[in-house]
Structure formats: C-alpha cells, structure tokens
Amino acid sequence: MSEPLLEVRNVTMKFGGVTAIDDLSFKVEKGQIYGLIGPNGAGKTTIFNIITGNYLPTEGQILFDGQDITGTKPHKVVDKGIARTFQNIRLFKSMTVLENVLIGFHDRIRYSYLEAILRFPRFHTYERRIRAEAMGLLEEFGIASFADTNATALSYGNQRKVEIARALATQPRLLLLDEPAAGMNPIETEDLSRIIHKIKADYDLTVLLIEHDMKFVNAMCDRVTVLDYGEKIFEGPPAEAIVDERVISAYLGEFSNA
C-alpha cells in the first residue's frame, strides 16, 4: 500500500447550528482516482472547499503529502499542488480560451511588475514559453482551434475541458473535479473519462472527484466514499457501493412495508 497523498482527518464543519460534515475521515492514495458521492446536500462540495482552504473546518485536519495544510489560504493551496474545477463552470467570461488557460500559469511566471512594464527580455521569454505550453494543453484536449474564441462561446463539454486545462496549467499533483460530467451527454461523458485517464497518466496525477453519474463513477474510480448528511456511510470499491443497502436507501429512500 502506498502512502496517502491527501488525508482528511476527523473533519467536522458546522455552519451555525447546522453540521455539514460530521467527523469525516478518508485517505486518497497517490495515483488513485477517488470518488466522493452522495445525494444533494450531503456535503461533498463543502469538503472540496475545506481542502482548497476556502473554509476553515470547525474541527479536524487536512494533510497533503504528510503536511498539515488546514487553514492555508486558497491561493497558497494551489502553490502546494492542489487544483480544482467548479460544479457550475466558472471560466473568465471576458477572456479567450487561451487567456483562460494562461491564467493557470500565473504563479509559474517569474517576471516582476517592472519587468512587465518595461518589457524586459525576461517578459518575452516567459510569455513565449507559456503560450506554447498553453497551446500544447489545448491541443491535448482537442480544443486548440478555439484558442482565440471567447471562452463562454464554447459548448458545455468544451468549456469543461477548458476548465480542466486551466487547472492543469497550475501543475497540480492532486486534481479536484466537482461534478465534471454534470450536464454532459453520454458521448461527451465518454470523451471526458478518456481524457481524465490520459492526463492522470501523463501528468502523474491523483484525482478526487465528486459525481452523481454512477455509471461514470463505476468506470472511473478506484475507490469511493459515500456521504449522506455529512456522514460517511460507505467506503470501498464503487462496484460494492451500488449494492450497499445504506447507499441505496440514502439515494432512493427506505422501502416501507406498508
């Protein structure tokens, strides 16, 4: 068994009187595709927001690569190697596809404000390099021909790809995908799972994803945690999750005998 890249340790999150996450623990191992599933309002996105530093958990810790990152500011979490996408796609709407991906390179560019204003050679070197890299990413996703198109003019599936490409540009080790297949048709979903498998191999990534589509989860994930009302009700391989009684009742409700 390899060591965990991400460990969520006894995390509790309370919003006023509401307990959104209740004493949740799980480990994501290096190279895994790990699924986080559960009905609406189970606290899946809340966990993402805690991992990325947007929320400070009431109790518990987040460990990344053995290091405690609880309470780290969101932009610093990205530096550590965690990138995310959003449930409802959040591209920069005034920018082109290429510019959106260039934003992902922000922290990897090392020219200063003055160097940018005075257009020092370093500026041109970096800009040329990241533009080539960004175009490479777009090619990998098959959307290079849209580079100069406004990002919001793309189809839903392609916007998803831009968002993932943008997250990859930050050079993450852990990629958090919040419902990547939501709103996609079966062909787009298949295309997406192929891409996720490919980038996982190419970039040596670990993936933690939230998803509702059980077929997608079954095909993608090595291991899943099922949440219901902030509590873990199942952990294990996805094939076992779909036959687990508690999981079924969480999704469909209890069968009444009446």
Residues 6 or more apart in contact with residue 54 via CB below 8 angstroms: 74
> Using CB atoms within 10 A of its CB, is residue 88 exposed (0-12), middle (13-18) or buried (19+)?
exposed
Residue 23 phi/psi, 5-degree rounding, is: 45, 60
By C-alpha distance, which of 165, 144, 181 is closest to 92?
A: 165
Two structure tokens written together for 197: 């498998």
Nearer to another protein among residue 167 and residue 209 (C-beta)? 167
Nearest by Cα to 29 from 64, 72, 57: 64
Please report the beta strands in the chain, taking only residues with DSSP state E, as ranges in sequence order. 4-15, 18-29, 33-37, 59-64, 67-68, 82-84, 174-178, 206-210, 223-228, 231-236
Neighbour count for residue 66 (Cβ, 10 Å): 9
Minimum CB distance to another protein, residue 143 (Å): 18
- Closest distance to another protein from the beta carbon of 208 (Å): 15
In the complex, minimum distance from the CB of residue 83 to another protein, in angstroms, rounded to a whole number: 7
Q: Which is nearer to another protein, 12 or 54 (CB)?
A: 54
Q: How far apart are CA 40 and CA 62, in angstroms?
A: 23
Q: Provide, rounded to whole angstroms, the least separation between the CB of residue 178 and another protein.
A: 11
Q: Which chain residues interact with another protein by CB under 8 A?
A: 52, 54, 74-75, 78-79, 83-84, 86, 90-95, 99, 102-107, 109, 111, 113, 116-119, 123, 126-127, 166-167, 169-170
**Residue placing its CB nearer to another protein in the complex, 75 or 194:** 75
Nearer to another protein, 119 or 198 (CB): 119
Closer by beta carbon to another protein, 109 or else 248? 109
Report, in Å, the least distance between residue 13 CB and another protein: 18
C-beta of 41 vs 74, nearer to another protein: 74
To the nearest whole angstrom, how small is the minimum distance from the Cβ of residue 94 to another protein?
5
